């Protein structure tokens, strides 16, 4: 596979004072920023940049031969993508502000505090990454093609929404920012996260943990590890998952179930890039990228106070939502064929045929368990089938035969029924547009058994527009008494 673009977090320090360079270097490296180079001669800054791959340049304002202000001007002309942070004395703030107007990112006043230096550099990294991601995403969208389609080979789909998600993933995969992946159970979140890991360029393995239902101490021990004697039974030091992930990816599943105490620890890990093993007073640094996933509506948890707002917004720097299978009916035949072949091979059977009426019957099922449910059903059906062709009888747990076919956009009415717009000719008076909208939506919801997504599809509108219309009508998502809509 062709290597994806990497976001480099390399810093160039420029100062004519050796002790200042040593101090800045130590502060950055202790905070986990390892790629740090230095230059004492302001006349050699451009040459140093040409020979390296720097993201940030920390530049002293007052230097012999060539001033920092002049160096800034040359950097911005030749290397406009490098973020420049100025270092200034108390009496030079006015000049530093002028440098900001000429393209500098920020300025720090001597003596520079370690925390401010590190925070400023990390903020510059984040902005650089987001800018590059936006450019990559723009390029992907304009081209309409995937640069690394092989990374998504395990995800079987021809849905246009999924193709857009793949393009988005290609743009954000090399970044180090957190990713929130949401979607119903069985929708394929794990496969998507494996694709992100493959595209990230890291050689470290993907480290995963399910955090549902574990208390705060178990969470801290699992993620951060412990030192010998930290608690009863801690006979030796244990390395946590964060350390195992190193500079790779740590995937935390079911993040919506995380306890409030553990949420605070995770927030510190994201913001400070450091953690404390149980029983230790010495913090450890990490550059592991955090990816979290959940099948809960995390926005609802946040609104109810069960999930911290600051953690929520930190986690959703990048957000990927996987649509459920019922919103991707075009994928059912593809997935059905794939699972049929897979199941037949695993059971030593010849490939089975699947009639069209069975495919249409399965397309009517809402699949609350999504792709995982379809796979289980197919494996069970293949084990039951004694012939060469599957039938509806091989799916005894599903009532497929008695369900009416859900109409889709562009369908014609059945023979003998009234067609649109001919049925209007029998009306003595025409309804208003508002009345027609209300009746049409009510009928679509009735035919779709209250499923908003399917109703929106057969009406030819977006689910968001349907929701707005229902809210406008004051139905609260219901068009008839006792009528409950599903998503």
**Residue 153: CATH number of its domain:** 3.40.50.300
| Cα–Cα distance measured from residue 478 to residue 484, given in angstroms and rounded to the nearest whole number | 6
* Angstrom distances, CA of residue 427 to CA of 346, 391, 431: 60, 44, 9
Bond prior to 421 in cis (omega within 30° of 0): yes
Tokens of 351: 């490939």
For 54, 332, 333, 402, 435, the CA distances from 359, given in Å and listed in that order, are: 55, 8, 7, 15, 37
Residue 135: inside a domain: no
Residue 275 included in any domain: yes
Residue 107 lies in a domain: yes
Q: Clarify whether residues 444 and 472 are in a common domain.
A: yes
Q: What is the pTM of this model?
A: 0.66
Let me know whether 160 and 193 are in one domain. yes
293 and 332 part of one domain: no
Cα radius of gyration (the chain): 29
CATH value at residue 457: 1.10.10
139 assigned to some structural domain: no
Tokens of 428: 């003595």
CATH number for the domain including 338? 1.10.8.60
Assigned domain for 1 exists: no
Are 302 and 168 part of one and the same domain? yes
Whole-angstrom distance, CA of residue 116 vs CA of residue 31: 12
Beta bridge partners of 39: 14
CATH of the domain at 62: 3.40.50.2300
For the four alpha carbons of 359, 365, 366 and 367, in that order, the dihedral sign comes to negative
Residues 167 and 243 in one domain: yes
pLDDT at residue 374 in the model: 94
Q: Are residues 358 and 309 in the same domain?
A: no
Binned at pLDDT 50, 70 and 90, residue 30 comes out as: confident
Binning the chain into helix, strand and coil, the percentages to the nearest 5 are 50, 10, 40
By residue range, what is the domain housing residue 227? 144-322
Inter-residue contact 452 to 486 (CB < 8 Å): yes
As given in the structure block, the two tokens for residue 326 are: 């019922």
Residue 410 scores a pLDDT above 50? no
Partnered with residue 181 across adjacent β-strands are 293, 320
Q: Please say whether the beta carbons of 234 and 279 come within 8 A.
A: yes
- Among 378, 394, 410, which residue terminates a domain? 394
Q: Do 169 and 279 have their domain in common?
A: yes
pLDDT digits 0-9 by tens, 375-404: 999 999 999 988 888 888 888 877 665 454
Domain end among 104, 130, 156? 130
Same-domain check for residues 75 and 194: no
First and final CA of the chain: distance in angstroms? 38
Q: Among 6-20, 29-43, 73-87, where is mean pLDDT lowest? A: 6-20
The chain-wide mean pLDDT, for the chain, equals 83
Query: For helices 260-272 and 216-224, what crossing angle results, to 10°?
Result: 30
Domain count along the chain: 4
Residue 307 and residue 162 share a domain: yes
Long-range contacts of 103-106 (CB under 8 A, 24+ apart): 103/72, 103/76, 104/59, 104/72, 105/56
- Residue 373 domain flag: yes
Query: In whole angstroms, what is the distance from residue 460 CA to residue 455 CA?
Result: 9
Last residue of a domain, one of 322, 340, 370: 322
422 assigned to some structural domain: no
- 282 in a domain, yes or no? yes
Q: What's the pLDDT score for residue 201?
A: 85
Q: What is the dihedral of CA 394, 397, 401, 402, to 10 degrees?
A: 170
The proportion of the chain whose per-residue pLDDT surpasses 90, expressed as a percent, equals 40
- And the tokens for 324? 């459920």
- Do residues 448 and 384 share a domain? no
What DSSP designation does 360 have? H
pLDDT at 308: 92
pLDDT value of position 484: 35
Segment 207-218, tens digit of pLDDT: 999 998 888 999
Q: What is the pLDDT of residue 487?
A: 42
* 474 upstream amide cis, omega within 30 of 0: no
- Paired with 389 in beta bridges are 353
Instruction: Express each pLDDT in 437-472 by its tens digit.
Output: 888 888 777 766 676 766 676 676 767 778 878 877
Pair (292, 179) in one structural domain:
yes
Per-residue model confidence (pLDDT) at position 325: 94
Contacts of 173 (CB under 8 A, 6+ apart): 4, 195, 196, 199, 200, 201
Helical H runs in 102-159? 114-143
* Residues 50 and 170 reside in one and the same domain: no
pLDDT exceeds cutoff 50 at 413: no
Tens digit of each residue's pLDDT (9 = 90 or more) over 146-169: 888 899 999 999 898 999 899 899
Q: Kindly report whether the peptide bond that precedes residue 463 is cis, defined as omega within 30 degrees of 0.
A: no
- In the numeric block, which tokens belong to residue 443? 């009928």
Decide if pLDDT at 123 tops 60: yes
């Amino acid at each position: 596979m062709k290597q994806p673009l990497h976001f480099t977090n390399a810093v160039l320090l420029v100062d004519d004072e050796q002790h200042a360079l040593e101090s800045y270097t130590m502060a950055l490296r202790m905070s986990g920023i390892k790629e740090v180079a230095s230059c004492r001669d302001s006349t050699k800054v451009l040459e140093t940049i040409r020979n390296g791959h720097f993201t940030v340049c920390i530049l002293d304002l007052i230097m012999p031969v060539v001033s920092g202000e002049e160096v800034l001007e040359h950097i911005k002309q030749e290397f406009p993508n490098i973020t420049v942070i100025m270092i200034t004395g108390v009496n030079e703030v006015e000049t530093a502000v002028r440098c900001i107007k000429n393209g500098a990112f920020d300025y720090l006043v001597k003596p520079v505090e370690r925390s401010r230096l590190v925070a400023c550099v990390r903020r510059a990294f984040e902005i650089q990454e987001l800018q590059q991601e936006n450019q990559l995403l723009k390029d992907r969208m304009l081209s309409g093609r995937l640069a690394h389609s092989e990374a998504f080979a395990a995800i079987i789909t021809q849905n246009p929404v999924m193709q857009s998600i793949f393009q988005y993933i290609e743009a954000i995969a090399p970044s180090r920012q957190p990713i929130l992946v949401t979607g119903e159970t069985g929708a394929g979140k794990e496969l998507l996260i494996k694709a992100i890991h493959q595209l990230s360029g890291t050689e470290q393995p993907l480290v995963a943990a399910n955090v549902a239902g574990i208390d705060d101490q178990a969470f801290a021990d699992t993620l951060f590890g412990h030192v010998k004697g930290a608690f009863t039974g801690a006979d030796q030091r244990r390395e946590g998952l964060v350390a195992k992930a190193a500079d790779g990816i740590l995937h935390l599943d079911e993040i919506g179930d995380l306890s409030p105490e553990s949420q605070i620890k995770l927030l510190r890990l994201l913001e400070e890039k450091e953690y404390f093993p149980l029983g230790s007073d010495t913090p450890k640094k990490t550059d592991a990228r955090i990816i979290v996933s959940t099948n809960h509506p995390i926005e609802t948890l946040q609104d109810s106070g069960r999930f911290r707002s600051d953690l929520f917004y930190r986690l959703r720097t990048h957000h990927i939502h996987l649509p459920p299978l019922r919103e991707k009916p075009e994928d059912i035949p593809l997935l059905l064929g794939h699972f049929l072949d897979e199941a037949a091979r695993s059971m030593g059977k010849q490939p089975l045929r699947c009639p069209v009426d069975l495919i249409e019957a399965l397309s009517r099922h809402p699949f609350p368990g999504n792709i995982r449910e379809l796979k289980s059903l197919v494996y069970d059906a293949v084990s039951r089938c004694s012939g060469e062709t599957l039938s509806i009888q091989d799916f005894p747990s599903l009532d497929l035969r008695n369900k009416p076919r859900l109409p889709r956009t562009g369908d014609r009415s059945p023979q003998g029924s009234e067609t649109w717009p001919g049925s209007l000719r029998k009306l003595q008076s025409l309804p208003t547009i508002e009345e027609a909208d209300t009746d049409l939506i009510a009928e679509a919801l009735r035919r779709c058994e209250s499923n908003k997504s399917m109703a929106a599809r057969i009406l030819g509108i977006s689910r968001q527009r349907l929701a707005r219309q229902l809210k406008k009508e004051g139905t609260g998502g219901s068009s008839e008494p006792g009528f409950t809509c599903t998503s």
